[in-house]
Amino acid sequence: MAHLATPSLRGGLLVIQPLRRRHCAECGGGPLPLLVLEDEVLRCLDCADLGHLVFLPRGDTALTRRSREESSLSAVVVRFNRRKGRYERQGVLVEEAGLARAEERCLADAEARRRRRVRDARRRAAQDVRFTDAFAAEIRRLFPGCPADRARDIATHASVRGSGRVGRSAAGRALSEGAVTSAVVASVRHRDTAYDQLLMSGVPRHEARRRIAPTVETVLAAWRVGAGAGPGTGSRAEEAGGAGVGSEAGVDEGGSGGGPGGGGGGEKGR
């Protein structure tokens, strides 16, 4: 039998949703939808004295918390995520009577909890607006030549809650110079250079970044000294032409020379 990784949980009982077909070592039943690992031995819920519990999927935080409060016996259900290499919660096992009492409690104050969620959403929205304003102001401080509406667009994109973007990182929330600059660089890369066209033409990401680096630095330098003008359309055309966009020869070779009608040397040559 293949080894089953042992998940860890601080306190409480743990039940596993197996990814493979597993059978109980005690009664031979299976395949098991849920199992308990005791002293490296797999057992079904009945043999582990948990067969009377009912499964409550994750998703409703209040119901989950109250179901566990109303149950004298409960367990956390986890499943291994191969891509992330860790166990993740799928729900809980609770007593049926405890679940019923928890549902009654949730129904009794459902309206109050709905109003609280609305208030919390408004509060978070106000916090997001203040943070976006602060992020945009920091962009303008570091890059006074960046147009105000552009700074606002960059800040709005970088600071979306739950996006995982640089504005929501610890450094971004602290408005560190590195995080703010990274957000500006990302915007310039996509909006003021031929970076996207290079990627679409098959140029590897790191090579595409190398080719457009001088244009990015030109824009940043202009914004740092207060000159608001960015690169003209000629810069995009030269980058695209130098990369061989629209030319199979330029794309396949990945070199700095243009294809037929490519318009001269690549980014490195300028």
Inter-axis angle of helices 205-224 and 233-243, nearest 10: 160
What does DSSP assign to residue 267?
Answer: G
Say what the pLDDT of residue 31 is: 87
In the predicted model, is pLDDT for residue 46 greater than 60? Answer: yes
Distances (CA, A) of 261 to 79, 172, 197, 200, 241: 56, 43, 17, 19, 8
Which residue type, as a one-letter code, is found at position 29? Answer: G
pLDDT tens, position by position, 78-99: 999 988 889 999 999 999 999 9
pLDDT tens-digit map of 67-82: 999 999 999 999 999 8
pLDDT on residue 10: 60
- Which two tokens mark 62? 């209040």
Contact call for residues 217 and 181 (beta carbons, < 8 A): no
Rounded CA separation 22/151 (Å): 56
Residue 90 tokens, joined = 């799928």
Beta strands 75-81 and 86-94 are antiparallel
Q: Which of 206, 164, 199, 200 is nearest to 183 (CA)?
A: 164
Q: How confident is the model at residue 262 (pLDDT cuts 50, 70, 90)?
A: very low
User: Tokens 């207060």 correspond to what residue?
Assistant: 226
Mean pLDDT computed over 105-134:
89
pLDDT tens, 197-240?
Answer: 999 999 999 999 999 999 999 999 999 987 554 444 445 555 55
Whether the pLDDT of residue 256 is over 80: the answer is no
Q: Which two tokens stand for residue 19?
A: 């990814």
Which tokens belong to 260? 């037929």
Question: What is the arithmetic mean of pLDDT over 262-268?
Answer: 39
Which residue, chain included where needed, has tokens 């566990």? 68
Mean pLDDT of 171-193: 93
Domain definitions of the chain by residue range: 13-108, 128-269
Written as six digits, the tokens of 203 are: 């140029």
Contact 193, 235 (CB under 8 A): yes
Q: Average pLDDT of the chain?
A: 82
* Start-to-end Cα distance in the chain: 63
Integer angstrom CA distances of residue 117 from 102, 103, 126, 180: 19, 18, 14, 31
